Amino acid sequence: MKQKRAFKYRVYPTPEQQQILAQTFGCCRFVYNWALRKKTDAYYNDHQRLYYKELSILLTDLKKQEETHWLNEVSSVPLQQALRHLDKAFLNFFEGRAKYPTFHKKRNTQSATYTANAFTWRNGSLTLAKMSEPLQIVWSRPLPNEAIPSSVTITKDCADRYFISLLVEEEIAHLPCNEKAIGADLGLKSFVVLSTGEVVGNPRFFHKDEKKLAKAQRRHAKKKKGSKNRDKARLKVARIHACIADRRRDFLHKLSTRLIRENQTMCVESLQVKNMVKHPTLSKAISDVGWSEFVSQLEYKADWYGRNLVKIDKWYPSSKRCFECGHILTSLPLDIRQWDCPECGIHHDRDINAAKNIVTVGLTVLACGESIRPGRVSSRSGKTQRSRKP
């Protein structure tokens, strides 16, 4: 079964192409913000909902107006795609996956999407609409044989780097099955501790460059607004942020790919990161570690390669439960990294014990198809009680 997969490459456009892309980015941003305002006003003022079809008709009328006639200078396809992206943003909002859409800003990442009728793909060269020359793409990895992009998205990040993403259909072969199953306990001191005893340290990419970033931000804040020196200082800050993000993304991709290739089943906790980042002292460290991105990568790579990813109940006391006898402590502060079970006397490393509990519960969930709660609960009085399944 073929699946859609995006391949991202670095692009070095010529000055003429940069000018065309700048116009296209600006028009896409204008159309997106204009459509967002139209949808919001129509709902609150007239109690009506506007969708892509209605907005597309209004966009045609907008292009005919004299004050916005400059929208005709760029390809119409990216403008239509901007309306589709807005519809997708509202769908994510109504289904609880994102917040209410906000206006796009000039200083943020810019993007434009072209469908098949707005670019020419010939012998590995890509020419976008309104351009006379193909883009200079750095082919860091080859595309699948005889792959033809169905759409391309070109982006410019805050560090003034250009990237292009080619969406193609590819037959992704499943990896050979094996019987290996691991549990992964995500943490801050160590990024992940596996049930096999392997410990992967936390690189703390943001922490390493935090002083360097703070110095660049102070210099940027002191520059006069609107000056060229302020733009140069802003670019330095953006490059530091981009370096941190690139290193974190590379680390997460390499680790998730290795775990997917080595194991048939991976068990993790379903963490609520958006609630955890509200912690008064650990919010910066939680944001730096990148748990959500890591689990997302495991999820779609497991789907690609025929692996199993199991998310256990977030309330399961994996750290406080003894892996040997099932005794559960009433409390276990974060500063206690090792503890002895009061019932069987086994000495536990907090993270390794949690990883072993995660893989055990994960395999049970995979077999039973339901959320599993602990079978033995230690009450505050010290007595052991049986808990019911939900």
Q: Which tens digits make up the pLDDT trace of 35-69?
A: 999 999 999 998 899 999 999 999 999 999 999 99
For the chain, the first-to-last Cα distance in angstroms comes to: 37
pLDDT over 80 (residue 30)? yes
Mean local confidence (pLDDT), 315-334: 82
Task: Establish whether 351 is a catalytic residue.
Answer: yes
pLDDT of residue 342: 80
pTM: 0.85
Catalytic residue among 209, 349, 351, 370: 351
What is the pLDDT confidence band of residue 386, given thresholds at 50, 70 and 90?
very low
Mean local confidence (pLDDT), 346-354: 84
Q: Where are the domains of the chain?
A: 2-171, 181-386
Q: Beta-strand (E) ranges in 252-373?
A: 265-269, 308-312, 338-340, 347-349
Round to whole Å and give the CA distance between 80 and 14.
25
Mean local confidence (pLDDT), 312-317: 82
* Burial class of residue 49 in the structure, from the number of CB atoms within 10 Å of its CB (0-12 exposed, 13-18 middle, 19+ buried): exposed
Mean local confidence (pLDDT), 245-253: 95
Mean local confidence (pLDDT), 272-276: 84
pLDDT of residue 129: 93
Catalytic residue among 133, 146, 170, 269: 269
Q: How many CB atoms lie within 10 A of CB 15?
A: 6
Determine which of 54-68, 271-285, 313-327, 372-386 has the lowest per-residue pLDDT on average.
Answer: 372-386
Round to whole Å and give the CA distance between 387 and 365.
17
pLDDT of residue 46: 86
Mean local confidence (pLDDT), 259-270: 91
Q: What is the mean pLDDT of the chain?
A: 88
Q: Are strands 308-312 and 265-269 parallel, antiparallel or unpaired?
A: parallel
What is the pLDDT confidence band of residue 371, given thresholds at 50, 70 and 90?
low
Q: Which tens digits make up the pLDDT trace of 128-145?
A: 999 999 999 999 998 888
What is the pLDDT confidence band of residue 192, given thresholds at 50, 70 and 90?
very high
Catalytic residue among 169, 170, 179, 185: 185
Round to whole Å and give the CA distance between 46 and 126.
45
pLDDT over 90 (residue 88)? yes
What is the pLDDT confidence band of residue 369, given thresholds at 50, 70 and 90?
low
Round to whole Å and give the CA distance between 161 and 238.
10
